[in-house]
Chain A
Amino acid sequence: MSVAPENYVALSAVLFFIGVVGVIARRNPLIMLMSIELLFNASNLALVTYARAWVDNVGHIFAFLVITVAAAEAAIALAIVVVTFRSRRFVDVDEVSALKG
């Protein structure tokens, strides 16, 4: 490959930070979850990049397991979102702030 791994890593960092911003800035739980998926994918990109750099496929395996976990997590997350917001008018996490102080 001709592109230095640093660039991949930098890209993953950019994606990661976009994900972070998403989690912090958006109030729609679904979009927050998607941002979290972005986080995981950014991590995966970094993993795969380094796997390539070190020529060690453990990175691939790690990434694969991350994908699996992400799937499971998404399932649970969406279930919780559904039960939480089914009875609410707005799908907005700021609505859910009974616990405070």
Chain B
Amino acid sequence: MLLYLVWLLPLFGAVLLWALGPQLKSWAGPIGSALIGVSFAATAVLWNGATAPHGLHVPLVSWLAGWDFGLQLDRLSLIWSLIITGVGFLIHVYSIGYMDGDRAFARFFAYMNFFVFAMLTLVLSDNVVGLLVGWGLVGLASYFLIGFWFYKPTAVSAARKAFVMNVVGDVAIMFSIFLIVSKIGLTSYDAIFSQLGRSFSSHELFLIALGLFIGCAAKSAQIPLHTWLPDAMEGPTPVSALIHAATMVTAGVYLIARFAPLWSSSPDAQELTGAIGALTALAGAILGCAQWDIKRILAYSTMSQIGYMIMGVGVGAYDAGVFHFLTHAFFKAQLFLGAGIIIHALANEQDVRRMGGLRKTMPFAFVAMATGVLAISGFPGLSGFFSKDAVIYGALETGHPWLYAVGVITAGITAYYMFRLLFVTFFGAYRGAVDPSDLGIRHPELAGTAELAASSGAHPEEEEPHHHAPSWLMSAPVALLIVPTIAIGWLDFGGGDSRWQQFFGGFFPRAHELTANGAVVTHAAPFSEVVSTAIVFALVVIGFAVAYVRYGATPAPREAIARLRTETVRMPGVLANAYYFDAAYEALLVRPAYALGRWFIRVVDPHGIDAGVREVAISAQWLGHLFRSFQTGLVRAYALTIAVGVVCFVAYYALAFTGGAR
């Protein structure tokens, strides 16, 4: 029963806030947050039930035999639910401060609650259809929140892009559902997994996994369906923190972890998933080095980190992948919230080139960001250190040395661009007053430097950046997040018998024990985890060093500006345009589709189909006039027509019958 509560409270909140938003005024925020908090508490209460062997299970609705839907809470969904509600709660609280004074304060919280509800639907569902429902609903929620400021055309188009790409994922999952149902006619996880071996050929298994993975790729911004994520930063920063960093985008990880038996029994799927994950991790990291918009940097880092997770769960190191999700949820949320504080303080300035030297003016933000950066780049002892190494080593452990290599390199790059962010933002001198063109910013409106006038024009004292300190509503959640960011990693300390391993002990199939044909395959890792950790750490240090040399060593402001300028101008196009993915989609899919549609309605319908009909009608009219013209009004003409008719008659009878008689 409590599970229903967990699931429905956010929905109730969403409806309530959406319906009565205007009346509630500033109470909307607290109410929304409170509901999520209650939901979190309830989830926590359910801990024991969830960790029981089969977890909690409650029925919902039934469409037809074999299509009975319910909720289930087991260890996996428990982790996710806790993160969703817990981190969600913090971000709600943060939002009260961040969104304060926004025109649609209540609507924002309605959407946020709705998102939590959708995400819970996704993770709590006990069957593929329910999962798909949640899958679609979170897409909708992210659409709402990306397009929250719907008077901004950029936000609107970004929202649509995100939604459509997610629908691509949805239909891919639908396709897998067809495959499953057309085989076994059932939709619940248990039924599917119990029949995996018997009912499906390995080919079908791969197809199912492929469909599901396309879904993951769309939702978790894996190449090639990642392009919506950076644009999604159009949404308010808390949204980016909750949806596009902590929870929704990691749904792919959840899906693969949920379908672990399927993946484990389809090596091809594992190879594919791992490869795509690694590729995404690397590509995202590289793009992260080329961005100037603070949120876009974080977005690409998110993409890269999710790449890690996908690689982990893909290759079979499920618990490692999930663990990385856990840690990432904390430190990435914290990073975003920290960035949010900065943006909030600088009146929506997002371009790091126009920041700098904020260390002194915003010490709290600096601390928050710094911990986050250290964590994400794997500084020993912090959460990211444990989880990332686990994932990377997992790749090696399951016999994917190339993926391992990619992971290691990516770790280094990650360190580089995260410290780059840190240095450029907080060190050196404040550049907020510098004319954008000096920084090589050609199109400020596109470069995230929104409200230029507000930041520079509205404030005469340009030397002194105006910083209203964040309200406690904003700083408290960040402060709370710092704790797990630092500490949570120790859950996985101690190798095989760590808390984490125990928690998921036997929950996931061990990748190197079970393969498609059940034969035992063991990959001997060439070296131990300690060595691997050392290698990774070395690369991290290198990355840090490069970043420090390029940005950290505080030179005179003028030189810094010059360097930023040259870097901006020299930025290779392939990076500046994110590998031209968007351009390619535009040219290959969008434009042709519109052109074809225009051709249909402008040419085919009027001149193709209707033309035929119109011709018939016209010729009918023409015949009508023709017959009219026969009607000369002359008696003799009529007589003649009669005579002609008679002739035909006579001819017929004479010929037909005399012919017969002859």
Contact = CB atoms under 8 A, between A and B. Distances in A.
Q: Do chains A and B touch in the complex (CB under 8 A)?
A: yes
7 contacts: A24-B639, A24-B643, A27-B636, A93-B634, A97-B632, A98-B633, A101-B628
Interface residues of B, number: 10
Contacts of A99: 633
Interface in A1-57: 20, 23-27, 32
B636 A100 contact: no
Contacts of A93: 634-636
Contacts of B634: 93-94, 97
A97 B635 CA distance: 8
A100 B635 contact: no
Interface in B615-648: 628, 631-636, 639-640, 643
Contact of B643 (A20, A32, A94, A98): A20
A98 B643 CA distance: 23
A100 B640 CA distance: 16
Contacts of A101: 628, 631, 633
Contacts of A100: 631-633
Interface in B218-269: none
Interface in B104-155: none
A96 interface: yes
A76 to B, nearest CB: 16
- Most B C-beta atoms less than 10 A away, residue of A20, A32, A98, A100: A100
B474 to A, nearest CB: 87
A24 B640 contact: yes
- Most A C-beta atoms less than 10 A away, residue of B632, B634, B635: B635
A26 B640 CA distance: 12
10 pairs of A and B residues whose beta carbons are closest in the complex:
A100-B633, A97-B633, A24-B639, A93-B635, A101-B628, A24-B640, A23-B639, A97-B634, A101-B631, A100-B631
A100 B628 CA distance: 8
A25 B636 CA distance: 7
- Most B C-beta atoms less than 10 A away, residue of A26, A32, A98, A101: A101
A23 B649 CA distance: 19
Contacts of B639: 23-24
SS class of chain B's interface: helix, strand, loop or mixed?
helix
A26 B635 CA distance: 10
A50 B160 CA distance: 95
Contacts of A25: 636
Interface residues of A, number: 15
Given A24-B640, A93-B634, A101-B628, 19 more contacts: A20-B643, A24-B636, A24-B643, A25-B636, A26-B636, A27-B636, A32-B635, A93-B635, A94-B634, A94-B636, A96-B635, A97-B632, A97-B633, A97-B634, A98-B633, A99-B633, A100-B633, A101-B631, A101-B633
Interface string A58-101: 00000000000000000000000000000000000110111111
Interface string B342-353: 000000000000
Contacts of B636: 23-27, 93-94
Contacts of A26: 636
A97 B632 CA distance: 8
A45 B425 CA distance: 124
B650 to A, nearest CB: 11
Contacts of A20: 643
A27 B643 CA distance: 16
A100 B627 CA distance: 11
A27 B635 CA distance: 9
A25 B639 CA distance: 9
Contacts of A32: 635
Contacts of B635: 32, 93-94, 96-97
A44 to B, nearest CB: 19
A25 B634 CA distance: 12
A73 to B, nearest CB: 16
A24 B640 CA distance: 6
A85 B640 CA distance: 23
A23 B635 CA distance: 9
Contacts of B631: 100-101
Interface string B477-496: 00000000000000000000
